[in-house]
Structure 1
Amino acid sequence: MNPKISDFGLARMFRDQEIEANTNRIVGTLGYISPEYAVDGTFSEKSDVFSFGVLLLEIVSGKTNREFSREKDNDNLLTHAWRLYEEGMALVLLSAHMRESCVESEVLRSIHIGLLCVQHHTNDRPTMLSVALMFDQDGALPPPKQPAFFAEGILPKVKQISVNDVTITMLEPR
């Protein structure tokens, strides 16, 4: 009776003794799918590491990746966590509900591990065994690299064509 977070729906895609495969269709939940799987349809044991990293950052922040947005920066959760980490303000990511009852060093370590898990390149991500050991040990962690799906800057402004914000759409049959 010890529940575990595991395969995020991808385990059924593997055959016996397979550690990597290509798929004909995308399976998984948007917001948790690794970049190599979303773009190329390639997944491996590190695809679940990416998903776990997203989940870990969601737990710390109290916000889901798909619903998170900051109007000022157009950041997603991964980008926001990365920016805060880079600025030395990672604790700002912590949910207000958890601030009074948490151990800051454990939260910082969790954010650091989450960022290691969501790194863009598969080879940069740790294995799940390494992730489990990172939580159990107090040693230094390697510095994370920029996460996948990093939103560079502010989204470009679209020039308005209509002066009064009214548009007319003409429907045409095929």
Structure 2
Amino acid sequence: MAGPSLRRLTPAWTTPSKLRDRVLVKKKGGGPETVLLFFFAQATRSQTDKGNQMSPSQSVAITLPVQKQLEAYNLRDIENFMLWWAEDCQYYAFPSTLLAANATEIRARHIERFKEPDLFGKLHTRTVVGNVVVDHETVQRNFPDGAGEVDVICIYEVQNSKIAKAWFKVGEPRLHPQISPLKI
């Protein structure tokens, strides 16, 4: 065969909820094309609180601030990161421990966090219901005992194209194995 064989699972692009079933996928394997198309499908799949479907443009308007702040987080770019947070935003450890009561306090927390050389959040899944975005991420961190990772469930409430509230449920850190130098 000359190249990857692609097939369309269903022909019509009718509703966002069925978008996941209509992405182009490779018949065998799962290269970058599959991942990108699946990510697009996941990002645009959403529902309102009443169970009615949101349009893809409504879904993008809700997910855009969350996606852009994640991109800035991964670049450790505090200015672009803060563009997506409301001035009066609230930042919680799940379920109700207030960690930062406004944008100034979030900025101070992240200036310190962005000093970590291995900091990176990998998005696994994103779900949208109304104006709430729920992400499952694995975050690479530099802990006091060494480099590692931690699973995080991030819940964002978006209002007026900014993150108004956020809750973070953080799992147990897992340290990466230390590699001993070879002795010759």
TM-score, normalization: structure 1? 0.31
User: Bigger relative contact order, structure 1 or 2, given CA contacts below 8 A and separation 6+?
Assistant: 1
Pick the structure with more helix per residue: 1
Pick the structure with more strand per residue: 2
